[in-house]
Amino acid sequence: MEDLSFHHQARSRAGGTRQMAIIGVVASGNLEVLAERVLPETECRLEIKTAAEGFGEVWDAVVADFVERYSPGGLKFSINDGGARPDTVSLRLAQAVRLMAEDEQ
């Protein structure tokens, strides 16, 4: 297992009012993303625990691209990764932001 941590400044606050959302499961080639609205409005943090070691640079690129595209200000993402490919990671992060923007169910 490898722990990774990223901290970014976001352009703006993430949409919606939901405090917490979770998407995905921890399985081979999959991951879970827990999003929590706990940070100042222009900050974004990601804490990752991954089963696939040595991919820090790829995570760095995927995370930077995600923050640029979705501007998830105020959100902290906690990730348990079972060795997902970068496209799956991007998809789950996007789903998590989308869920946070929806109303409480």
Partner 1 sequence: MSVADLEKPSVERARATSFYEASARARIRLLLDPGSFVEFIGPEQREVSPHLKLFDLPEQFDDGIIVGHGQLAGSPVFIAAQEGRFMGGAFGEVHGAKLTGLLRAAKEMKSIPVLILLDTGGVRLQEANAGELAIAEIMRAVIEARTAGVKVIGLIGGRSGCYGGGGLIAGCCSALAVSEQGRIAVSGPEVIETNRGVEEFDSRDRALVWRTMGGKHRRLIGGAELFADDTVQAFREAALELLETTSGFGIDTLNAEQSRLEDRLQRFGACRDAVEIWAAEGVPDAASVPALPADQFIELADKLRRIARDAR
Stretch that binds partner 1, among 7-15, 48-56, 66-74, 89-97 (CB under 8 A): 48-56
DSSP per-residue letters across 22-68: EE---STT-EEEEEEE-S-TTEEEEEEEESSTT-HHHHHHHHHHHHH
Report how far residue 15's alpha carbon sits from residue 55's, in angstroms, rounded to the nearest whole number: 30
CA 89 to chain CA centroid, nearest Å: 8
- The yes or no reply on residue 89 touching partner 1 (CB under 8 A) is no
Among 9, 22, 40, 64, contact with partner 1 (rule: CB under 8 A): 22
- The yes or no reply on residue 3 touching partner 1 (CB under 8 A) is no
- The yes or no reply on residue 50 touching partner 1 (CB under 8 A) is yes
Among 12, 25, 58, 102, contact with partner 1 (rule: CB under 8 A): 25
Residue type, 61: A
Residues lying near partner 1 in the complex (CB under 8 A) are found at: 1, 20, 22, 25-27, 30, 32, 34, 36, 49-51, 78, 80-82, 104-105
